[in-house]
Chains A and B, each alone.
Chain A
Amino acid sequence: MHSSGVRAVWIALFANLLIFLTKAIAAWVGNSAAMFAEALHSLSDAVNSVFLLIGMKLACRPPDLEHPFGYGKEVYFWSFIASVFMFGVTSMGSLTRGYHQVVNPHPIAAVELITVALSLAALFEIYAVRAAMRAVINDVGIQVKGFKVIPASFKNINNVANPAVKFVFWEDMAALTGVIIALVAISISKITNNIVYDGIASIVIGVMLGALAIMLAYENRDMIVGRAAHPNIIRRIGDIAMSVPGVTDVKEIKTMYIGAHSLLVNMTIETKPRLNIEIADDVVAEVEKKIVTKLNSVKEINIEVIADDNLNSWQKEKEQLSCIVE
């Protein structure tokens, strides 16, 4: 794992812990359910970072006899645990607290303190959302500037190939929305003197957290089960192989993520039937070298060579892949 990535996670962890403490103190002093839900929200973000760090640490262990493809999937496993925590502790906590506030309202105090804490949190979340939107734009590869980033990122969020970028986008959006909901609800509660709104906000935040947790779990389940690379990457792998002299066709490419930055590639290439095995060897070595240097996420590669069957399988496969992308 890149050290810059680890540093970013540590920074996020401390930032979220700081926000959690601020919100928790405000919730405790002000006795507000919405604020409590927001505190839990920040806590779950911090816990998320902790599990991510654990996963990254465990994922870098080298492969061994029992795990010949390495430990890369630890990242997904621990990310899944984070989603379980998010669902079971923070989402349920917000829901129950909100329910109690609606059924049995307690007056809220220190509204000024709560407003200041939430405004500070909102500023921070806006900064985070901006970064997440930029990441989306970068991932899709379009050029926009200024406020046009906002509609562009929403329009392109489903085209993002990297699931982590997608999830961070939704996580930060949810965090910002949560802060705004809490802010609005507490203001309305103060103006109308009806504390029910405070409780309702807590329930809404709880539902949002639950939805986010399920989304995270679903994404991780896909990676745990064994997800293939994006069709664009598969197309590139095939094209690289085809560019090597001696390769007449690419019959099959099977890929699977075995970690956040490592891809397993099993492929079958075709060569001229009367080629000597020694020469075929060199062709295979050349294909492997080219793929590994051009796509640095490819960590495991196994190439089966068969005699040419005179069918243009790769051409057909490529057309199929482009259909999926479009």
Chain B
Amino acid sequence: MDDPSGWRTLKINMFINVALGLLKGALAFSSGSAAMYASALNSLSNSASNLFSYLGIKKAARPADIDHPFGYGKEIYFWSFVASVFMLGFASTGAISQGYSQLIEKKAIHISSLMIIILVIALVHEIILLYGSLNIVGKFLCNCTLLDGIRQFKRYNNPVNKTIILQNASTIIATAISLVALIAADFTRTYIIDALASIAVGIIMGSMALALAFQLKDMIIGRSCNPATIQLIGDLAMKAPGVTDITDIKTMYMGSKCLLLNMEIQVKSGLKVDEVDDVVNEVEKIIEGNLCNVKHINIEAVADDKVQGWKKAISQNKTMALTEFV
């Protein structure tokens, strides 16, 4: 999708994650530390999921064709989902099984100061990344309290940025756990802390992947935009001269920046088809001008039935919006 900020973050993330993953992996093999191994898996799975996101962005950008008249926008949800499956199946289970075998086999580990330094560098880098990616969605989450922000974040529909933020947050926690575990293991000379840290990192990655997968599933099935946007669409349409009422608005995200909108409007009875045509065009122009995400609009115009459906719908929508956002 035409999301330069999302793509740039992705590319930088990918290269740094590959480098960190390889470095951590080498250190894990030389030291025999399970926590380091889990941390390496974490970095590698992050880079893999960046790659999947890249694939999704590329494939989603293809223009609509006869087999896919609404475009390929949903590719981005599909590939982000594949990334979360990979995270769960490869990285999370890998870290948990490594921790488990460390518990059973009780291999000796040699912790060097280099490992600690690498993990500290990784931690600092990840905090910077999280700060950067939070800035991207900052516009979306503006003027919210923390709790409100979390609720709004759930509705955020760009899965690439969402993946990165969730990933960064969980990576910070995972790296911190590995770091603390390594220092503690060095002091106490026990392997158990190392093994438990690996299992904990695996569980964190797994639950992050599941949380992401569940949210993506909703987008895959076909999710509507939020009630406030629906209300805005209706209010904008009501502004067009000739529109007397709105009877139905159905929306579905067809991609991170692509909303399908099917609506039914009522126009003054007695109008001719060519006049209605102009009214409909005006409505489309107003909506597209104000909401750049709306890409596919189909408007069915019917004669006014003298019932004020939209006013009723607004009051309904308001209660809905209130339960969602307050």
Contact = CB atoms under 8 A, between A and B. Distances in A.
A258 B320 CA distance: 25
B66 A304 contact: no
A138 interface: no
A103 interface: no
Instruction: Please indicate which of the listed interface residues A221, A268, A304, A324 has the most CB atoms of chain B within 10 Å of its own CB.
Output: A304
A226 interface: yes
Contacts of B280: 304, 306
A226 B68 contact: yes
A256 B301 contact: no
Interface in B19-71: 66-71
B254 A226 contact: yes
Per DSSP, are chain A's interface residues mostly helix, strand or loop, or mixed? mixed
Given A73-B221, A275-B272, A228 B68 contact: yes
B272 A302 contact: no
B219 to A, nearest CB: 10
A255 interface: yes
Nearest to A81: B85
Nearest to B213: A81
Nearest to B85: A84
A254 B296 contact: yes
A228 B69 contact: yes
A65 B320 CA distance: 9
Interface stretch (B72-80, B106-114, B179-187): B72-80
Given A221-B78, A225-B75, A302 B300 contact: yes
A176 interface: no
Interface in A242-288: 254-256, 258, 266-268, 271-278, 280-281, 284
A36 B214 CA distance: 33
B177 interface: no
Given A65-B320, A74-B221, A300-B262, A307 B68 contact: no
A71 interface: yes
A66 B224 contact: yes
B217 interface: yes
A124 interface: no
Interface string A74-102: 10110010001000100000000000000
Contacts of A221: 75, 78
A226 B75 CA distance: 9
B289 interface: no
Contact of A276 (B70, B223, B272, B320): B272
A226 B78 CA distance: 11
A155 interface: no
Given A280-B273, A281-B303, A302-B298, A224 B252 contact: no
B298 A277 contact: no
B74 A256 contact: no
Instruction: Please indicate which of the listed interface residues A68, A88, A271, A320 has the most CB atoms of chain B within 10 Å of its own CB.
Output: A68
Interface string B297-321: 0111111000000000000000010
Interface residues of A, number: 50
Nearest to B230: A65
Contacts of B271: 276-277
A307 B274 contact: yes
Contacts of B72: 225-226
A236 interface: no
A277 B320 CA distance: 33
Contact of B223 (A67, A224, A256, A284): A67
Given A225-B78, A226-B70, A304 B303 contact: no
Chain B interface residue bracket vs A: 35 or more
B33 to A, nearest CB: 26
Contacts of A222: 67
Contact of B221 (A67, A255, A281, A300): A67
A284 B300 contact: yes
A238 to B, nearest CB: 13
B69 A254 contact: yes
Nearest to A271: B273
A77 B218 CA distance: 10
Nearest to A67: B222
B300 A277 contact: no
B69 to A, nearest CB: 4
Contact of A73 (B68, B222, B254, B303): B222
Given A65-B227, A68-B252, A305-B273, A224 B74 contact: yes
Contact of A305 (B67, B301, B320): B301
B220 interface: yes
Contacts of B68: 225-228
Contacts of B262: 266, 300, 302
A303 interface: yes
Contacts of B276: 277, 280, 305
Given A77-B221, A300-B262, A305-B276, A254 B70 contact: yes
Given A84-B89, A276-B271, 18 more contacts: A66-B218, A67-B218, A67-B224, A68-B224, A70-B222, A72-B222, A73-B222, A88-B89, A222-B67, A224-B74, A225-B74, A254-B69, A254-B296, A255-B69, A273-B274, A274-B274, A278-B269, A302-B262
25 contacts: A65-B320, A67-B221, A67-B223, A72-B222, A88-B89, A221-B75, A224-B74, A226-B254, A228-B66, A228-B67, A231-B66, A266-B262, A266-B296, A268-B298, A273-B274, A276-B271, A277-B272, A280-B273, A281-B303, A302-B262, A302-B299, A304-B298, A304-B301, A306-B273, A324-B66
In the A-B complex, the 6 residue pairs with the smallest Cβ-Cβ separation, listed nearest first, are A307-B274, A68-B250, A254-B69, A273-B274, A266-B298, A302-B262
Interface of A: 65-74, 76-77, 80, 84, 88, 221-222, 224-228, 231, 254-256, 258, 266-268, 271-278, 280-281, 284, 300, 302-307, 320, 324
